[in-house]
Amino acid sequence: MAGRDNILRDKRLLLIIGGGIAAYKSLDLIRRLKDHGMNVRTILTKSGAEFVTPLSISSLSGEKVFQELFDLTDEMEMGHIKLSRSADLVLVAPATADLMAKMVQGLAPDLAGTTLLATDKPVMLAPAMNSQMWHNTSTMRNAEQLRADGTEIIPPASGALACGEVGDGRLAEVADIITHLQDFFLQKYKNSPLAGKHILVTAGPTHEAIDPVRYIANGSSGTQGYAIAQSLAAKGACVTLVTGPTSLAPPEGIKTIQILSAEEMRKACEEALPADAGVFVAAVCDWRPEAAANQKIKKQKGKMPPIHWVENTDILKKISHLKEARPELMIGFAAETENITAHAKEKLARKGCDWIIANDVSVKNGQSVMGSDKNTVHFITKENCDEWCEASKKEVAEMLTLKIEEYFQLKQNVRT
């Protein structure tokens, strides 16, 4: 999948819409960014609201539009500090001369100003104003200072202006703004061969219903899968996380699909394709009741009623054997309690994946890997078997991410 075309997927943008007739272009920008898979939250300034409405913005972004600094509900639920830091990038479009001047002076008269002061993320401006205003010495000085402060400025376009004059000052075309956003993220991840790669990750257990109040499952916490998803995303990968029931909060900036059963996970994984790689960490139940009872099953003279079990689809095996939509790199996890490497090597051959990460889930000192913060794994390929020392699940995720990076870097070097 092309890195540039995919680089904006699941990235988080905070768009601040300033005043001016060019504000209407923000609606097309939001629509186009959503087409690229970007998550867009917006702050609409008071002057911006004279040109576009919160309803039109929220209809396109699918998110609430933030306007008031002293909205107590938002301060409890989001807060301007969290809002300013929950994005990967802050974009002001259109940026007025007044807004730029306030940024230089460090003024925070409203939600937009406060957010720009509070953010620890990169800021990008797309100015739009009358040509004479743009070339005014004060505006040029402010633009120079903003650049010196680390703010990227997308140059305004030249042409007919709303005031009837002709010259520099038009808001850059939407396509040009998107190009700048793509360039930003490509530069950010320029040293990572995972930039723009779509990677499917599964995590957690599955629950197979027996009746409305009972199910069969396992003790997987989802911690290892979530850590892998976050580690890959930090390297610029576009991650789709398909997760069974866990107590973990969905990781920010990662497309997360929550499921219950193995069949739901299989369907979600197939719908998430195509992908460049798949990391199947989830502890999927091998079996499920053929049919869940509609009502709670009652005791039958102290005996457990018979349940007819059927085998669930082996998701890793099925996707590994796809002819057209198979990810280039398929990685499975094997939870074992004995003969760890032997069983994992057998699974590698049987399932048709490229790598197997085998982890020992046997109970030691009264504790299992499932539900703990530590993991001991074996990294197994068709050629090698490496035992990794006991490490935190975050460290295991980082080591696996490095292996995946090396794989795609080698592929990239071969192609060039």
Report the C-alpha gap between 412 and 396 in whole angstroms.
24
Q: Which of 163, 269, 353, 385 is catalytic?
A: 163
Same domain, 74 and 148: yes
pLDDT of residue 147: 97
Report the C-alpha gap between 199 and 191 in whole angstroms.
18
Same domain, 182 and 214: no
Three-state secondary-structure class, residue 8: coil
* Mean pLDDT on 378-387: 91
What confidence tens digit (pLDDT) does each residue in 11-31 have?
999 999 999 899 999 999 999
Report the C-alpha gap between 267 and 273 in whole angstroms.
10
pLDDT of residue 360: 78
pLDDT of residue 331: 98
Structural domain including 397 reads: 198-415
Q: What is the percentage of the chain residues whose pLDDT exceeds 90?
A: 71
pLDDT of residue 2: 45
Same domain, 317 and 392: yes
Query: Greater confidence, 264 or 303?
Result: 264
Domain presence at residue 325: yes
Burial group, residue 304, by CB count within 10 angstroms (0-12, 13-18, 19+): exposed
**Among the three residues 140, 169, 188, which one is the final residue of a domain in this structure?**
188
Domain presence at residue 193: no
CATH of the domain at 43: 3.40.50.1950
Q: Poorest-confidence range of 42-46, 323-327, 375-379, 401-405?
A: 375-379
pLDDT grade for 316, boundaries at 50, 70 and 90: very high
pLDDT of residue 149: 96
Query: Greater confidence, 363 or 10?
Result: 10
What confidence tens digit (pLDDT) does each residue in 147-206 have?
999 999 999 998 877 777 777 889 999 999 999 999 999 898 888 899 989 999 999 999
**Catalytic status, residue 163:** yes
**Among the three residues 137, 155, 188, which one is the final residue of a domain in this structure?**
188
Report the C-alpha gap between 239 and 147 in whole angstroms.
32
The structural domain count of the chain equals 2
pLDDT of residue 389: 82
pLDDT grade for 1, boundaries at 50, 70 and 90: very low
CATH of the domain at 359: 3.40.50.10300
Same domain, 49 and 129: yes
Query: Greater confidence, 168 or 270?
Result: 270
**Among the three residues 188, 213, 229, which one is the final residue of a domain in this structure?**
188
Q: What are phi and psi of 182, to 5 degrees?
A: -60, -45
Same domain, 149 and 211: no
Is the predicted pLDDT of residue 140 greater than 70, yes or no?
yes
Q: What are phi and psi of 278, to 5 degrees?
A: -130, 130
Non-local CB neighbours of 121 within 8 Å, separated by 6+ positions: 14, 84, 85, 87, 88, 89, 90
Domain presence at residue 115: yes
Same domain, 202 and 173: no
Helix (H) and strand (E) counts in the chain: 15, 22
Same domain, 117 and 144: yes
